[in-house]
């Protein structure tokens, strides 16, 4: 009966599920020579693309990410003929390169097909001036270190020695600049963008360059604030972000607690229907609450002093007590339910990190004020306090691992497609062997689809059935 009920629920979920999923991505004449087709593993939810350097793995992930984030310069500057995205509801997007006489002015056209019927094409506008940049153009060379300002609206690229106009800078660095979207999108495109979310974990992930723009009255104040924010390591930024998330949960917990505590006496007095729980059933519920509270203490979401002793024997509970306790139990369940989602994620995060960091005697724990706390164990014969480490004291490989796991568990919305470029960077071979197994656990908890590009056979391990090779 239980299995049949679960199957029915699954069928109902699939039928009612309105979230679109990508089934296939293809590109023709990428760099003028490559034709690639990538069919995503819908059931397994993990697709791995691999191939020699230069075949376009990273550029395909970037094109997919930029399309869903309404950034189109990558399509204008990359040689290709057609980029196609097929969805699981018989719809299709085609991005076609339309070349004018001057290749630098190459434009793109986006076509939409539903059951083979096409809609009016969408041609995105190009950004030609600074009215759509959310920052003063005077600090572009601070944001993009390879640029040197040599004129009012001209910059020198120190690496290529090119002189770039403002439109050239916007076109080339659109992905790292805070740009306003100037395009009014057709309804079909807006529906797709609203329906499917993409999250890109890029190979350059140790430095946080994605802090939101904030208005500044003074350009100098803005300059100082922006540079300070862009220099912070990602692992430090994520530690602070997690602390904020935990604080938000405590605020929600406090609000619910105040509401329930305020109305508790009234609800006890007005309870007319006797509780139908037996004293043993009530005792079992109290034991479950004790276990839940202890778990939240273990993962750092509750303090030890916030614990309660629910060790009440059934023979101490009479009818009146049962009615009062039943309301109390329901209230505590509602309060602690606030922490369930974040506790599940913290617990999985902790287990994976501690398993991998054990080789260097490091551990991670969590705090509502600090976020991550990393410690290293003392190996002396006399037991001393574990030494607390700054997040930036971790090795580059350890930071890569923390950042990827945090992104997947805490930054990605459910039902998103996550793009990961070179997840193997700086990781020990032993970690790579377990990577897909850890990823499967995360997918079950966070409800994600994964498309990653890798050079590592150790990461693939024995799961070549999940791979698509890109070749000439």
Model pTM?
0.83
Asked if residue 74 lies in contact with residue 58, where contact means CB atoms within 8 angstroms, the answer is no
For residue 209, what are its two tokens?
């360059």
Asked if residue 63 lies in contact with residue 74, where contact means CB atoms within 8 angstroms, the answer is yes
CA-closest candidate to residue 299, choices 336, 334, 342, 262: 342
For residue 128, what are its two tokens?
């030609």
Asked if residue 179 lies in contact with residue 127, where contact means CB atoms within 8 angstroms, the answer is yes
CA distance 243 to 238: 9
Q: b or e along 315-341 (b: 16 or more beta carbons within 10 Å of the residue's beta carbon)?
A: eebeeeebbebbbbbebbeebbebbee
pLDDT 10s per residue in the chain (472 long)?
A: 445 544 544 454 444 446 789 999 999 999 999 999 999 999 999 999 999 999 999 999 999 999 999 888 899 889 999 999 999 999 999 999 986 545 455 589 999 999 888 889 999 887 666 666 777 777 888 778 889 999 888 999 988 899 988 878 877 887 777 777 777 899 999 999 999 999 999 988 877 644 433 333 233 334 444 444 444 688 999 999 999 999 999 999 999 999 998 988 888 877 765 566 777 788 888 888 889 988 999 888 887 665 555 555 555 566 667 778 888 888 999 999 999 999 999 999 999 999 999 888 999 999 889 999 999 976 554 455 678 888 889 999 999 999 999 999 999 999 999 999 999 988 888 899 999 999 999 999 999 999 999 999 999 999 999 999 998 7
CATH number of the domain at 20-121+183-197+412-472, out of 3.40.50.300, 1.20.1200.10, 3.30.450.20, 3.20.20.70? Answer: 3.40.50.300
From-to residues of CATH 3.40.50.300 in the chain: 20-121+183-197+412-472
φ, ψ for residue 213, nearest 5 deg: -70, 135
């Amino acid at each position: 009966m239980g299995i049949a009920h679960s199957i029915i629920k699954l069928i109902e979920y699939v039928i009612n599920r309105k979230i679109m999923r990508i089934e296939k991505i293809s590109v023709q004449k990428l760099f003028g020579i490559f034709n690639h087709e990538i069919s995503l593993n819908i059931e397994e939810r993990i697709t791995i693309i691999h191939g020699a350097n230069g075949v376009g793995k990273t550029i395909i992930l970037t094109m997919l990410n930029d399309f869903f984030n309404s950034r189109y310069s990558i399509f204008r500057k990359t040689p290709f003929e057609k980029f196609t995205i097929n969805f699981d509801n018989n719809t299709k997007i085609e991005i076609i390169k339309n070349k004018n006489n001057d290749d630098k002015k190459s434009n793109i056209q986006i076509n939409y097909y539903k059951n083979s019927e096409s809609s009016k094409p969408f041609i995105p506008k190009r950004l030609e001036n600074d009215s759509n940049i959310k920052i003063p153009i005077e600090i572009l060379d601070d944001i993009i270190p390879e640029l040197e300002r040599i004129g009012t609206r001209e910059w020198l690229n120190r690496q290529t020695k090119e002189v770039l106009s403002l439109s050239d800078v916007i076109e080339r660095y659109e992905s790292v600049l805070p740009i306003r979207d100037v395009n009014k999108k057709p309804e079909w495109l807006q529906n797709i963008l609203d329906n499917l979310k993409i999250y890109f974990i890029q190979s350059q992930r140790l430095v946080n360059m994605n802090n939101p723009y904030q208005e500044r009255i003074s350009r100098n104040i803005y300059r100082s604030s922006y540079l300070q924010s862009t220099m912070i390591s990602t692992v430090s930024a994520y530690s602070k972000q997690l602390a904020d998330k935990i604080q938000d949960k405590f605020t929600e917990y406090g609000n619910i607690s105040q509401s329930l505590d305020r109305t508790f006496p009234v609800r006890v007095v007005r309870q007319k229907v006797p509780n139908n729980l037996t004293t043993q059933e009530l005792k079992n519920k109290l034991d479950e609450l004790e276990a839940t509270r202890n778990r939240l203490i273990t993962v750092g979401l509750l303090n030890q002093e916030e614990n309660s002793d629910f060790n009440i024997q059934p023979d101490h509970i009479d009818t009146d007590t049962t009615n009062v306790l039943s309301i109390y139990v329901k209230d505590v369940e509602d309060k602690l339910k606030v922490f369930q989602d974040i506790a599940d994620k913290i617990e999985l995060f902790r287990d994976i990190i501690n398993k991998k960091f054990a080789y260097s005697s490091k551990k991670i724990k969590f705090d509502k004020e600090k976020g991550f706390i990393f410690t290293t164990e003392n190996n002396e014969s006399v037991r001393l306090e574990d030494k607390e480490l700054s997040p930036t004291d971790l090795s580059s490989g350890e930071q890569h691992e923390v950042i990827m796991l945090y992104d997947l568990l805490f930054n990605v919305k459910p039902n998103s497609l996550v793009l990961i470029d070179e997840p193997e960077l700086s990781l020990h071979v032993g970690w790579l062997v377990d990577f897909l197994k850890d990823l499967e656990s995360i997918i079950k908890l966070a409800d994600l689809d994964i498309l990653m590009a890798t050079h590592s056979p150790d990461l693939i391990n024995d799961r070549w059935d999940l791979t698509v090779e890109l070749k000439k």
